[in-house]
């Protein structure tokens, strides 16, 4: 059985900010994501999207926000897992997305800062909600927000970073041996996610990603006959600490 879903193909402002708005904002520069960190993690760009994501009035002031989102998949990790399983698990197991939201009027130029805190709070709440939904839509179950840490960015910002955990079910894996088909219930892979939202200059940055939370191992024994018993050992050699460090480096260096 081939598994091809997980959390690849995230769009609609990537991690999902706010949707369904019609107000217009001018040209928005895409987020600046570290090419060194992308190369180090084996990432490739999977999608670019642009849309108006915020429109609300605060007294006489109409605030509109437009986002440009870049989505990346961990192609190196996906290729390694596919090779190690003989193509039986073909899934994007790592995703990173960054959104750059430009506001009109500029967020830091709101008269008396009226509405600034509300805009940031609403953007953060919606981003977290949409992050969970995106994971769920891509086959991750039992998603929980496990805590809040502090992310220190390259520019010295210290936004709250929400952490998540869930399970991605691999399903059944089939192996052919001696003319017989051996089916193994492979269970699932634990998934972790991180998400942060912060004010960078006059704009807002939303950055986060998801990745395997632990290595995957499985041992299955099957009797092919009274005389023949086989044992299949699966060890994907996943390195969660490396994935977490790379995703958080990408988050911290995004502007």
* Residue 244 covered by a domain: yes
- What secondary structure does DSSP assign to 142-205, as a single string? EEEEEEEEEPPPTTS---EEEEEEEEEE--EEEEEETTEEEEEE--EEEEEEEEEEEEETTEEE
203 touches 107 (CB < 8 A): yes
Rounded mean pLDDT of 60-72?
90
* Residue 191 covered by a domain: yes
| Domain hosting residue 242, numbered range | 35-253
Q: Which of 81-90, 118-127, 143-152 has the largest mean confidence?
A: 143-152
pLDDT (0 to 100) of residue 114: 67
Q: Which helix (H) or strand (E) holds 217?
A: strand 217-223
Name, in order, each residue with C-beta under 8 angstroms of 189's C-beta and a sequence gap of 6 or more. 93, 167, 168, 170, 212, 213, 214, 216, 238
Rounded mean pLDDT of 194-212?
95
* Residue 11 covered by a domain: no
* Residue 111 covered by a domain: yes
Tell me the residue length of the chain.
255
* Residue 56 covered by a domain: yes
Total of domains in the chain: 1
* Residue 42 covered by a domain: yes
pLDDT (0 to 100) of residue 10: 38
47-63 residue pLDDT tens: 999 988 888 887 788 88
Q: Provide the pLDDT confidence category of residue 176 given band limits of 50, 70 and 90.
A: confident
Q: How many CB atoms lie within 10 A of CB 2?
A: 12
pLDDT (0 to 100) of residue 61: 80
62/222 Cα distance (integer angstroms): 66
213-238 residue pLDDT tens: 999 988 877 777 778 777 878 889 99
Q: Looking at 64-68, 96-100, 149-153, which range is the least confident one?
A: 64-68
Q: How many CB atoms lie within 10 A of CB 239?
A: 15
pTM: 0.84
pLDDT (0 to 100) of residue 25: 62
* Residue 54 covered by a domain: yes
- The percent of residues above 70 in pLDDT, for the chain, comes to 88
* Residue 50 covered by a domain: yes
């Amino acid at each position: 059985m081939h598994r091809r879903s997980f959390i690849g193909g995230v769009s609609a402002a990537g991690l999902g900010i706010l949707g369904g708005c019609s107000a217009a904002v001018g040209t928005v520069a895409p987020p600046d994501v570290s090419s060194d960190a992308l190369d180090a993690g084996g990432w490739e760009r999977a999608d670019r999207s642009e849309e108006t994501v915020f429109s609300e009035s605060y007294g006489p002031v109409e605030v509109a926000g437009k986002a440009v989102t870049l989505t990346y998949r961990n192609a190196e990790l996906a290729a390694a897992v596919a090779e190690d399983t003989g193509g039986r698990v073909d899934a994007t197991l790592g995703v990173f997305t960054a959104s750059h939201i430009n506001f009109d009027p500029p967020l830091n130029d709101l008269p008396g800062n009226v509405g600034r805190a509300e805009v940031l709070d609403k953007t953060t709440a919606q981003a977290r909600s949409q992050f969970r939904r995106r994971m769920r839509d891509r086959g991750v179950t039992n998603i929980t927000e496990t805590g809040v840490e502090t992310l220190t960015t390259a520019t010295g910002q210290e936004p709250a970073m929400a952490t998540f955990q869930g399970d991605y079910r691999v399903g059944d894996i089939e192996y052919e041996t001696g003319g017989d088909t051996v089916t193994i219930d492979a269970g699932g892979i634990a998934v972790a996610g991180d998400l942060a939202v912060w004010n960078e200059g006059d704009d807002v940055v939303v950055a986060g990603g998801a990745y395997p939370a632990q290595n995957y191992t499985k041992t299955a024994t099957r009797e092919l006959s009274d005389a023949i018993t086989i044992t299949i050992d699966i060890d994907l050699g996943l390195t969660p600490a490396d994935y977490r460090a790379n995703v958080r480096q990408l988050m911290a260096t995004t502007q």
